[in-house]
Structure 1
Amino acid sequence: MNFIIWIVVGGILGWLASLVMKTDASQGMLLNIVVGIVGALLGGWLLAPLFGTGTINQNDFSISSLLVSFLGAVILLAIVNLLRRGTPR
């Protein structure tokens, strides 16, 4: 059941991050899910110790963990944009 929740919440967080980073037109549903889940991993590695919370990948579905996962997805898209285009948007 947790896997299904990861897919749904990861897809929503990936979609919101793609809207913020203005990459929504070039991403599909599958890539939004991947961005959401990998972004949560990145957020858990970089931001979770700073905020003292978990991420969606650690079965923590609080507001702070959703925020950390969302910020991780935004950071992931910024890194991809930097590598792809040379400048973050």
Structure 2
Amino acid sequence: MHLNTESLLVILLVGVVAGWLAGQIVRGAGFGLIADMAIGIVGALIGSWLLPQLHIALGSGIVPATANATIGAIILLLIISVVRGGGRRNFWRR
């Protein structure tokens, strides 16, 4: 697979947006721009694997890709929070 500059910029943009959204949804999970981007990109990988396993199809395009990455990033942030000892409380913003 060959990525051109435009594809790479779209992937990074989706990663930044998804990481930021997940950080806003999950309490105390914002890690800064670079870490949020990495969490968003890893979240996109998690979401693109997990959602088809659950027979969930969001569609194609940038908005469904961002939603998919955000769902994966939220799952990743919840796992990070549990591993770091945050427990199950105080995940969601009120």
User: How much does 1:85 deviate?
Assistant: 1.3
Q: May I ask how many residue pairs the two structures share in their alignment? A: 82
Whole-angstrom CA distance in 2 between matches of 1:82 and 1:30: 22
Corresponding residue of 1:84: 84
Question: Amino acid of the residue matched to residue 12 of structure 1?
Answer: V
One of 10, 27, 35 as aligned partner of 1:31: 35
One of 19, 24, 46 as aligned partner of 2:24: 19
User: How much does 1:65 deviate?
Assistant: 3.2
User: How much does 1:53 deviate?
Assistant: 4.6
Whole-angstrom CA distance in 1 between matches of 2:20 and 2:83: 20
Q: Which runs of 4+ in 1 moved over 2 A?
A: 60-66
User: How much does 1:52 deviate?
Assistant: 2.7
User: How much does 1:81 deviate?
Assistant: 0.4
- Residue correspondence of structure 1 range 49-88 to structure 2 within 5 A: 49=53, 50-53=55-58, 60-88=60-88
Structure ID, larger Rg: 2
Corresponding residue of 1:48: 52
Gaps of 5+ in 2: 1-5
Secondary structure of 2:72's aligned partner: helix
Task: Provide TM-score, normalisation by structure 2.
Answer: 0.75
Say which structure is richer in helix: 1
Q: CA RMSD in A?
A: 1.8
Gaps of 5+ in 1: 55-59
Return closer, same or farther for 1:34/1:73 CA change in 2, 3 Å cut-off. Answer: same
- How much identity, in percent, do the aligned residues show? 32
